[in-house]
Amino acid sequence: MNRHGHDLDRAAATLASAAHLVVFTGSGVSKESGLATFRDVDGAWAQYDPMDYASPQGFRRNPQGVWEWYAQRRQQMLEVEPNPAHLAIAALENLIAEVTVITQNIDGLHQRAGSSRVLELHGNIHRYKCSRHCRGEPTYLPTPDPFEETLQPCPYCGAHARPDVVWFGESLPPDVWEAAAFAAMTCDAMLVVGTSGAVEPAASLPRYARQHRAFIVEVNPETTPITQIAGAALRGPAGEWMPALLEAVRDIHDAQA
């Protein structure tokens, strides 16, 4: 049997006996839906400087430009569909008692695929908040037309509205971060799908899980810093590996029934 076969068997056996699985995802899980990643050669940061488009300073310098970038991405995110990886992750809930999805993505595709417990570390592009958090942090705003290309004012104070996403230098939503860190420290297994592990503090979650003796499975075409602590690595696109892994877990369950 080749290395992949062994890793698939080990990953499936671990998931089949897990009581609590955490699935930690990044932009690679949405790649096969047609959405760009960030740091790959064809990723967003090859074209756009993150400090211009994903920082509070960038938004202050050019609020209309940042608003337009998010409006275009929002439109793409609404046009695409969850792919076989999102669907397989959601279907794991039928086989494992507790599944927590922790995502860095803002696209809402896990929820659309049917995952019921999703912690969004970096927010959600479909929500808006006041950039001056005039009624407390966060001050959520009524949702404008999702395709609105013109920067909108906060209806309460007139400051710029902005997407409710986490930019560089900003803190993650504390309640979401606490729930994610707790899940990582108490799960039996963590599946890490489609993230480079380059952005903190999110990238620390697999380490927390490993320190608390969880088995780590990585699904990614490339090696990452997370590979070092992974007990199994499925090298290739998530849209191919996740359905195969789901099937292998289902076979173990059927054999035990």
Least separation in angstroms between CB 177 and ligand BJW:
9
- Nearest Cα to Cα of residue 30 among 74, 65, 81, 93: 81
Residue nearest to ligand BJW (CB): 28
Binding site for ligand BJW (CB under 6 A): 26-28, 31-32, 37-40, 43, 54, 104, 106, 122, 165-171, 194-196, 198-201, 219-222, 224, 237-238
* Tokens representing residue 62 in the block: 């050019």
Among 43, 20, 84, 51, smallest CA distance to 195 is for 43
Calpha distance 73→35 (Å, rounded): 9
Half-sphere exposure at residue 251, Cβ-oriented, CA atoms within 13 angstroms? 11
**Active site residue: 4, 6, 110, 122, which one?**
122
C-beta of 98: minimal distance to ligand BJW in Å? 24
CA distance linking residue 176 with residue 143, whole number of Å: 21
CB 19 → ligand BJW: shortest distance, Å?
26
- State the Cα–Cα distance between residues 161 and 159, nearest whole angstrom: 7
160 is catalytic: no
Closest CA to 104 of 75, 127, 124: 124
Please report how close the Cβ of residue 242 comes to ligand BJW at its closest, in angstroms.
9
Residues with catalytic roles: 122
